[in-house]
Structure 1
Amino acid sequence: MSSSSPLRTLIVDDERLARSELRRLLGPHDGVEVVGEAANADEAEAALRKHEPDLLLLDVQMPGDSGFDLLERLDAVPHVVFVTAYDEYAIRAFEVNALDYLVKPVEPERLAEAVETVQERATETTPQAAVSEEGEPRRTLTAEDQVFVKDGERCWFVQLADVRLFEAAGNYTRLYFDGETPLIHRSLSYLEDRLDPDRFFRASRQHILNLRWVDDVTPWSKGKLKAVLEDGTEVELSRRRSRAFREQLSL
């Protein structure tokens, strides 16, 4: 998104009056374009695919799937500001997880602050939603994309560039970033099919490496290689993947 482009915004709330109020409050903001509305997670998923917004104003509590459930269904997410009627105790969880949120009824000043924050971030990077649908070609996930991760009561928006290692855990995958190791409900093979192969390398049945985090590669046993990440983590490459690694990096 360029600095002159409007912030393409999708409003998701099960209450029609709440959607109308958000649209009205956004009216005076020249740098914002409301591209659509949705009343539930299914409508939102379709609207994300159609409009590819820069910003998602997302109600947390909706009938059926919640706002969190929607984000967990997406392979990558745009900028998100939650809209919540949660009580004070629950709001503290948003603050601890550094999630942007607005409390209903939304105050114009707080909305303006949230929009300004997103606009500042969007001049640096504009993550786009990636929505999988059977039969459609899937967009490659780049290092600039961000994913939503929820592990118990903890939540993160994580840029893929910051994930140094992906580790298989059955039908789940463990992400390693910033000292955190949560699980996401995606298999390692699924992620391998989606991630940019020039940046993310399948090292073995158990691991995918972020090549930008590889600090050193040394010969290991029986023709295999061992990668050492910047944090000191050691990952053994299988013999077949060691050959592919040498070819890809011309070693």
Structure 2
Amino acid sequence: MRVMIIDDERLARDELRRLLLEHPWVSVVGEAANVQEGLQQIAALAPELVFLDVHMPDGSGFDLLAALAQAPAVIFTTAYDRYALRAFDVSALDYLLKPIDPPRLAQALDKRRPAPQDAGAVAADGKVFIKDGERCWFVALDDIALFESEGNYTRVYFDNHRPLLLRSLVQLEARLDAAKFMRVSRSRIVNLASVTGIAPAPAGGMTLTLHGDLRVGMSRRRALVFRQLNRL
């Protein structure tokens, strides 16, 4: 598994590298000392798992994740106790307190250990990290029902949450799987798997009902495309 370490303390990075040598199925492909370096290295190396320090001089680990179009799996590392993460609704893979305890590290890694049939490969999680004010979420793309444009931001609909993502709908669309997500209007993209009902609308359009009883209108032109894609 391809792993990256992001921590502003060189000794902490070196110690984590040493501990990871005990796990031969893990390969450290790179490291970074701050948020900006981390963003560059993640883009260049595409790690499957990131050990991410919570506090760094140029920002937090949460700031780094919020700047990514799609977040890898994360294990936070922190010198603070769990209270440091309680303010966040972050479904991170795990967190480790510094100094890192080898058994705890092994426990955290086991959650990502590939099954024998995977031949050492770990599939991408397909998650997006959203930071809205003081709250943060890791959300699987498959769990998102609707993306709705609000200027240069996008409102994301999942479960009972409606946070704003600091990214435009155009930027998001370029990253989404066109077989799973469809733009149904200038301002909305829906997850096709979330469609629970279809009803005709005036002038040949459609109204889609999504999980959570969300209703989204489609123009006649986009409804024609939808019918063709879904063989209706």
From 64, 70, 80, the counterpart of 1:76 = 70
1:154 CA displacement: 2.1
Aligned counterpart, 2:38: 44
Cα-to-partner distance string for 1:6-42 (whole Å, 9 max, x where unaligned) = x211011111100001011111112211111111122
Give the secondary structure class of the aligned counterpart of 2:173. Answer: helix
Distance 1:157 1:91 in 2: 13
Runs of 4+ in 1 over 4 A off after TM superposition: none
Length, aligned pairs only:
227
- 1:243 pairs with 2:209: no
- 1:186 pairs with 2:167: yes
Cα distance change of structure 1 residues 229 and 125 upon mapping to structure 2, 3 Å threshold: farther
Cα-to-partner distance string for 1:116-137 (whole Å, 9 max, x where unaligned) = 112269x69632xxxxxxxxxx
Contact 1:79–1:126 under 8 Å retained in 2: no
Identity %: 50
Distance 2:143 2:83 in 1: 30
TM-score, normalising length: structure 2: 0.90
Contact 2:148–2:188 under 8 Å retained in 1: yes
Give the letter aligned to residue 126 of structure 1. Answer: A
Cα-to-partner distance string for 1:70-93 (whole Å, 9 max, x where unaligned) = 111111111100111235532433
Aligned counterpart, 2:11: 17
Aligned counterpart, 2:202: 221
Aligned counterpart, 1:104: 98
Give the secondary structure class of the aligned counterpart of 2:75. Answer: strand
Instruction: Considering fraction of residues, name the structure with more strand.
Output: 2
Aligned counterpart, 2:214: 233
Give the letter aligned to residue 75 of structure 2. Answer: V
- 1:208 pairs with 2:189: yes
1:210 CA displacement: 0.4
TM-score, normalising length: structure 1: 0.83
Distance 2:122 2:182 in 1: 23
Distance 1:91 1:162 in 2: 23
Unmatched runs of 5 consecutive residues or more in structure 1: 1-6, 128-143
Cα distance change of structure 1 residues 193 and 8 upon mapping to structure 2, 3 Å threshold: closer
Distance 2:221 2:163 in 1: 28
